[in-house]
Amino acid sequence: MIKFKVTLPKEKQFDRQRFMSGLKKVGENLASRVDKTYDELTGEWNDPPEFYKTVSTNANGMRVEVKTPNLKYRFVDLGTKPHPIQPLPPGSFMVFQKDYTPVTKVQSLKSTPGGKSGDFIFAKQIDHPGSEARNFEIPINKEQIPLVIKDFYDIMEKFKAFILETEHG
């Protein structure tokens, strides 16, 4: 989250509607950059998730969201605890390769070679060891915060508004 405390000009010629439109454009540019990053990150997945962007402004500020309801993405991003996996339909066997090397790394937006390898295993249940959270938001924030701050300062300068405080993390 990024917070700015701003004082807007009180002059009659200050066009609040154009200012809010410019501010929304800053949010739309951020959403587009983040969406592109997610698409590049997951584009090679067998079933890549679809991300949805929303940008809204009100008198108190702006909210930018880029998210997906995709469970596979959530499991990769947030990680999983160890858990059993049962075959579908019940009573059948699962067939999988013994080894797997993740193609994504923790807090990285780069993909590396990896995937399934090794002998094939036939099993009635798998005790999955869990997976480490990738925490993709951390490198995305690190990449995007300086860009959105610059865009925000540019719009403030254009409309001669004053930034009193800045907070981000």
Query: So what's the pLDDT on residue 32?
Result: 97
Q: Is the pLDDT of residue 135 over 80?
A: yes
Confidence class for position 8, pLDDT limits 50, 70, 90:
confident
Residues of the chain with CATH 3.30.70: 2-71+134-168
- Region 2-71+134-168: CATH code: 3.30.70
This prediction has a pTM of 0.82
pLDDT of residue 169: 64
Cα separations (Å) of 14 from 36, 68, 128, 160? 34, 38, 60, 9
Q: How confident is the model at residue 28 (pLDDT cuts 50, 70, 90)?
A: very high
| Contact call for residues 83 and 64 (beta carbons, < 8 A) | no
pLDDT reported for residue 109: 92
What pLDDT digit, counting tens, does each position of 108-122 carry?
998 888 889 999 999
How many C-alpha atoms does 106 have within 13 Å on its Cβ side?
A: 5
Contact 26, 151 (CB under 8 A): yes
